[in-house]
Amino acid sequence: MAELVNNIFESTLAPRAVNSFTLMRGVPDYTNLAQFDLYETGYSFLVSLKIPSFLTLLSKKSDDYKTLIDNYRHIIEYDFRGAQGIEDITSETNSLTNGISDLNIITRVTEQGGTNFTMNYFERSGSLITKTHELFLRGIKDPRTQMKRYNGLLQQRFTRNGAASVNGLNDKGYEYEVFHFLLIVTDNTGLNIEKAYILASAQPSMANTSIYNVTRGEISFSEMSIGYNAYPIAGRIVNKKAAAFLDWINDNTCFDEMEFGYNILTQKDLGTPGTTTVVSPMTSNDYTMTSKPTQVDA
């Protein structure tokens, strides 16, 4: 039996009741600002729920890969500045007509399926993002031969009887090749959810090797537009899970400068008399993606 759902927007911020205000009809009462509780854009978080299984296995085989992949995952979350790609829910109509006049009536409602989501990041020295995407793309298909070998993890015929190969994989499949992300859009407090999406089965669509084009004398930081092909999932259960992650983010992140432990404040010698160590209860070094208790790694 299907579950009875009383509120499909459960766990999101409920709108303020405004039916007792005159709003913009007649003289606007700008002395009563409670009626102008407007939605402000620009507040969001991204959570890395899962990385491709073959990347996890590669990180276990190589310390260099582990450093690369762990730091990539951290940057994707903590350097996140927003995403583009969410589309409107739309409708299609058919015409009711008597041959002279007609009325278009909705007969189909559509929601986006798989699409490309873009996010902007600054590349780090050492090409952390670009190398990770190159490792991913070369793993799922060698660009010169189009063979799928997961960067050397697949080296023998599949038995498909449950026995794993020496490298931890006894098969190939799309299920080993996808990221899952959680996009949380919040209000201007960062405490309440406006909307949440799981960006499921995401794959980076390119490795931005074009950043290596160079002209002598032209010096700049490399800001890249990263594209992921993904399938967006929204709904009450997604909102509930997002609320749990948002609580964790707020419990483990300082959003008040007066409480923030700048690195310099943790140093014993600040050039003043005495050796007292000033330590804030919140420091920027306390929070890493690996400390989330609900993190999915494989």
Q: Is 127 left (phi over 0), alpha (psi -120 to 50) or beta?
A: left
pLDDT band (50, 70, 90) for residue 57: very high
pLDDT in tens, 165-215: 656 777 899 999 999 999 999 999 999 999 999 999 999 999 999 999 999
CA–CA separation, 23 vs 227, rounded Å? 41
Per-residue model confidence (pLDDT) at position 58: 95
pTM confidence score: 0.87
Is the pLDDT reported for residue 92 higher than 60? yes
- pLDDT-based confidence at residue 29 (cuts at 50, 70, 90): very high
Of the listed ranges 52-66, 122-136, 212-226, 275-289, the least confidently predicted one is 275-289
Indicate if the pLDDT at residue 297 is higher than 50. no
**Among 255, 238, 252, 120, residue whose Cα is nearest residue 184:** 238
Confidence at 267, pLDDT banded by 50, 70, 90 = confident
pLDDT of residue 167: 66
Rg over alpha carbons for the chain, rounded to the nearest Å, is 25
> What is the SS3 assignment for 210?
helix
Q: Does the pLDDT value for residue 72 go beyond 80? A: yes
Q: Which of 57-71, 117-131, 159-173 has the lowest mean pLDDT?
A: 159-173
Per-residue pLDDT, 77? 97
Query: Do residues 193 and 12 touch, judged by C-beta distance below 8 A?
Result: yes
Q: What is the pLDDT of residue 264?
A: 86
Strand 44-50 versus strand 179-186 pairing type: antiparallel
- Round to whole Å and give the CA distance between 264 and 270: 8
Q: How confident is the model at residue 268 (pLDDT cuts 50, 70, 90)?
A: confident
* 132-169 pLDDT per residue, tens: 999 999 999 999 999 999 999 988 777 666 555 656 77
Q: Which residue has the higher pLDDT, 271 or 8?
A: 8
Position 284 confidence tier, pLDDT thresholds 50, 70, 90: very low
pLDDT at 277 (0 to 100)? 47
